[in-house]
Each structure stands twice: as structure tokens, then as C-alpha cells.
């Protein structure tokens, strides 16, 4: 039977300043359906390289919600009648959702590719009932015609006054930025509840022209010269270089901080079978290799069977960069989240 794909844009609206869109991708005869909530970055590649192939392979109609991680989690939390089946979240939001018991307890025997995750990744999955499907990390992207950056400490240079953008604290890499500030102050954030790190952020404030919520906000700022340097997750590098080819991305030799993006099945999902198949598809060797491409989602693989060439590994948390990537204690961070957001806003957003 010939497969006929239909991918229909159903709706597009704004929620709390975040673009949320839904799409439906289906075969001519549907044996199931699935609603996926995922990130709003590189939505075209997400459809073509993940959603459409999954729908075709499993004969499932897929509806998709796009947006930033924290906003989508908040929507789920406050809408017990949500129709979302699976949600893709940054690690800190995955831990929050797990603590609030928003996710279904997973039967890992239904995910055949789960065995290809590392022991630490499997441990995280079992702790949170969310499955890591990619790892990303923090780096610095800058205009080499205006400045040279070699280390995290360079961000505090007076030469960069009013020229830097950093992720807002409530975003995926906001906590990592605070960890970087702690390193600058030579005090681990978990040793003093982040006091030294926040003092370092106060010292950095004159250099920061914007704390951004979405990486896409940075493209025009680089184009207009409003910023010269930005601290970004590696998943955004391809998008930023596509609009500003002269930009250079680097991860300091001193290291970086890693974050997993995780998938969970919502507790009230009525399409659990299709949801398990979706998680397994995301972890498959074939799809992990596909989405690792620079022209795809630039997702570093977690499936240990996937090998990347040096060219393919560029701008990813893979190989040497992965070895230099340090972990963030998101259980600790989340327990301080309310207080830290308040401190961050007083220092950085007023």
C-alpha cells in the first residue's frame, strides 16, 4: 500500500510570549495518534527528520505543540485535561515535572533501545521517569572581527561593556550560567547557596545588554552589532551561524556544563503504546545519526552505537567536549529555583 503523507498546519498562537504551533502529520490510514510537545527551535527539521518519519513508520497521526521548555511544562501542570501524550523537556524541567508527578511510570522493557544508553543516563531515566535523548552543553559564540575569546573569564572584561547576551535564568542554560559565574568566583554554587556566583553576576552585569529567553532572539542582535558575544547552548550554533556565517563558536579548555533533553509520557496519556514507540524511535541508531547532522537538529547522540566523524561532531557535546562537560546538580538547583530566580531578576533584569 502506498503511503500518502499529510502534514497540515492547524494552529499558531502566542502563550506567555512563546510561539506555540500545532501540526498534524499522518498516513492515509491511521491506526493510532500521538500529541508531541517539543522545543520551538528548528521546527522545520523537527518535522522532516523526526515527526514525519515516525508517523510514516508507525502509521500514526502526530499532532505537535512547539514552545520553550518551561512554558510548555507550566501549561501541562495547569491543564489536567491536556491532550499531550509525550513531552520533550530540558533536564531541570524534566526533574520538576517528575517531582510533581506529571509523568507516567515507565516500563523500560518497552523501549528496546534503552540498553544503548550509558549507566548514568539510565539512572537519570529511572530517577525521573524521563528518558535522555540528546545531550547539549554551553559555549561562547562571538564575532571574531570585534573580539577574541579564549576563556569564560574573558566575559568579565571591561572591553565587553554592553556587548554580551546571556541566557535568562529560567531557560535551559540559565543555571549553567550561574555555575560559570561560580567558577569565576572560585566557589562552587552548592557550597554557599550561590552567593559568590550571584556576586560575580553582579560584576558581569555592565557587560550584559540582554538576558534572552530564546536563542533565535540573538540572530538580529549579532547582525545589527548590538551584541558581540553570547553564551549559548550548542544546539543553537547552527541556527546562529546560518544567519551570521562569520561568527565563531568555542568551548573553553577549562570545560563546560552539560544538559540532557529528556522525553516523558504524560500521566494521563491515552496513547501510551504510540508514546513508547516514539521514545524508542528517538533513541534508535538511525534517527540519532540523522538528527546529529548540522543541517538537522544538531543533536549529539546518546545511543552508544552511534559514531560521529570529526566533521559531524563539530559544535556538539561529543568526544573531547563531552569529556570536559561537567554535570549540574539539578535536584539542588530546583530546590533553590524560586529564590534564585528572584535574586537573578533583581541583579540582571532591573
Interval 294-325: pLDDT, tens? 889 989 999 999 999 999 999 999 999 999 99
> DSSP letter string over 171-203?
STTHHHHHHHHHHHTT--TTTTTTHHHHHHHHH
Q: What's the mean pLDDT in 319-344?
A: 94
Task: For residue 17, name the pLDDT band (cuts at 50, 70, 90).
Answer: very low
**Is the pLDDT score of 73 beyond 70?**
yes
Residue 4 confidence (pLDDT): 33
Contact 327, 124 (CB under 8 A): no
**Is the pLDDT score of 16 beyond 70?**
no
Contact 130, 97 (CB under 8 A): yes
Interval 154-190: pLDDT, tens? 999 999 999 999 999 989 899 999 999 999 999 999 9
Task: For residue 60, name the pLDDT band (cuts at 50, 70, 90).
Answer: very high
Q: Which three cell numbers stand for residue 83?
A: 491532550
**Is the pLDDT score of 72 beyond 60?**
yes
Residue 108 confidence (pLDDT): 98
Which domains are delineated in the chain? 6-136+260-318 (3.40.190.10), 137-257+326-348 (3.40.190.10)
Contact 295, 109 (CB under 8 A): no
Question: Percent of the chain at pLDDT above 70?
Answer: 91
Which residues make Cβ contacts (< 8 Å) with residue 331, sequence separation at least 6?
A: 95
Task: For residue 42, name the pLDDT band (cuts at 50, 70, 90).
Answer: confident
Q: What's the mean pLDDT in 251-275?
A: 97
**Is the pLDDT score of 8 beyond 80?**
no
Task: For residue 292, name the pLDDT band (cuts at 50, 70, 90).
Answer: very high
Q: Which three cell numbers stand for residue 304?
A: 552508544
Contact 282, 38 (CB under 8 A): no
Residue 29 confidence (pLDDT): 40
**Is the pLDDT score of 85 beyond 80?**
yes
**Is the pLDDT score of 227 beyond 60?**
yes
Q: Round the average pLDDT of the chain to a whole number and report it.
A: 91
**Is the pLDDT score of 22 beyond 60?**
no
Q: Which of 180, 324, 316, 181 is nearest to 236 (CA)?
A: 316
Q: What's the mean pLDDT in 15-42?
A: 63
Amino acid at each position: 500500500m502506498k503511503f500518502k503523507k499529510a502534514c497540515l498546519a492547524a494552529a499558531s498562537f502566542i502563550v506567555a510570549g512563546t510561539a506555540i504551533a500545532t501540526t498534524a502529520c499522518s498516513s492515509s490510514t491511521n491506526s493510532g495518534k500521538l500529541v508531541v510537545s517539543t522545543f520551538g527551535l528548528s521546527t522545520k527539521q523537527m518535522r522532516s527528520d523526526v515527526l514525519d518519519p515516525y508517523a510514516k513508520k508507525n502509521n500514526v497521526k502526530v499532532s505537535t505543540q512547539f514552545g520553550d521548555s518551561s512554558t510548555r511544562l507550566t501549561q501541562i501542570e495547569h491543564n489536567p485535561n491536556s491532550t499531550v501524550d509525550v513531552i520533550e523537556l530540558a533536564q531541570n524541567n524534566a526533574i520538576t515535572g517528575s517531582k510533581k508527578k506529571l509523568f507516567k511510570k515507565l516500563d523500560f522493557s518497552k523501549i528496546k533501545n534503552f540498553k544503548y544508553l550509558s549507566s548514568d543516563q539510565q539512572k537519570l531515566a529511572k530517577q525521573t521517569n524521563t528518558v535522555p535523548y540528546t545531550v547539549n552543553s554551553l559555549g561562547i559564540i562571538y564575532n571574531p572581527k570585534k573580539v577574541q575569546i579564549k576563556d569564560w573569564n574573558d566575559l568579565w572584561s571591561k572591553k565587553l561593556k554592553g556587548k554580551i547576551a546571556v541566557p535568562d535564568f529560567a531557560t535551559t542554560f540559565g543555571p549553567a550560567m550561574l555555575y560559570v559565574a561560580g567558577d569565576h568566583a572560585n566557589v562552587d554554587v552548592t557550597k554557599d547557596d550561590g552567593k559568590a556566583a550571584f556576586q560575580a553576576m553582579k560584576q558581569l552585569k555592565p557587560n550584559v545588554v540582554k538576558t534572552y529567553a530564546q536563542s533565535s532572539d540573538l540572530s538580529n542582535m549579532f547582525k545589527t552589532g548590538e551584541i558581540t558575544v553570547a553564551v549559548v547552548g550548542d544546539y543553537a550554533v547552527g541556527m546562529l551561524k546560518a544567519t551570521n556565517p562569520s561568527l565563531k563558536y568555542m568551548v573553553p579548555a577549562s570545560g563546560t556544563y552539560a544538559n540532557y533533553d529528556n522525553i516523558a509520557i504524560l500521566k494521563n496519556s491515552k496513547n501510551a503504546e504510540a508514546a513508547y514507540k516514539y521514545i524508542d524511535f528517538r533513541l534508535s541508531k538511525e534517527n540519532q545519526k540523522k538528527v546529529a547532522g548540522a543541517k538537522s537538529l544538531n543533536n549529539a547522540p546518546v545511543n552508544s552505537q552511534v559514531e560521529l566523524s570529526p566533521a559531524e561532531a563539530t559544535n556538539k557535546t561529543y568526544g573531547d567536549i563531552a569529556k570536559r562537560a561537567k554535570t549540574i546538580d539539578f535536584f539542588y538547583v530546583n530546590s533553590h529555583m524560586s529564590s534564585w530566580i528572584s535574586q537573578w531578576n533583581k541583579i540582571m533584569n532591573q
